Amino acid sequence: MNPDKEQIEVPGSEARQESSPETASTHQHTEPSRAPTYSTPEINLEAAAEQEAPSGPWYTLSFWQRFFNVDTTTILKRIAVSAIPYRPVLRQHIQASAYPDLYGPFWIITSLIFFMGMTGNIAAWTAFRPIPAHPAWHYDFTKITFATFLLYPYSLLLPLAIWASIRFKQQGIASFGELYCLVGYSFAVYVPVAFLSLIPSLVVRWVVLLLALVLSTASLLANTWSSLGIHTLPVRLVIIACVAAANTGLAILLEVYFFHYYAAKTG
Q: Per-residue pLDDT tens for 215-246?
A: 999 999 998 888 887 778 888 889 999 999 99
Q: How far is Cα 7 from Cα 156, in angstroms, rounded to an integer?
A: 102
pLDDT, the chain, mean: 77
- The pTM assigned to this predicted structure is 0.72
Q: How far is Cα 68 from Cα 181, in angstroms, rounded to an integer?
A: 11
230 DSSP assignment:
T
pLDDT, one tens digit per residue, over 68-96 is 778 888 889 989 988 888 888 888 888 77
Q: Is 7 left (phi over 0), alpha (psi -120 to 50) or beta?
A: beta
pLDDT at residue number 49: 42
Assess contact for 162 and 236: CB atoms under 8 A: no
Higher pLDDT, 257 or 58: 257
Give the residue ranges of DSSP H helices in 21-127: 21-30, 45-52, 61-64, 72-81, 89-95, 103-127
73: Cα within 13 Å, side-chain hemisphere: 0
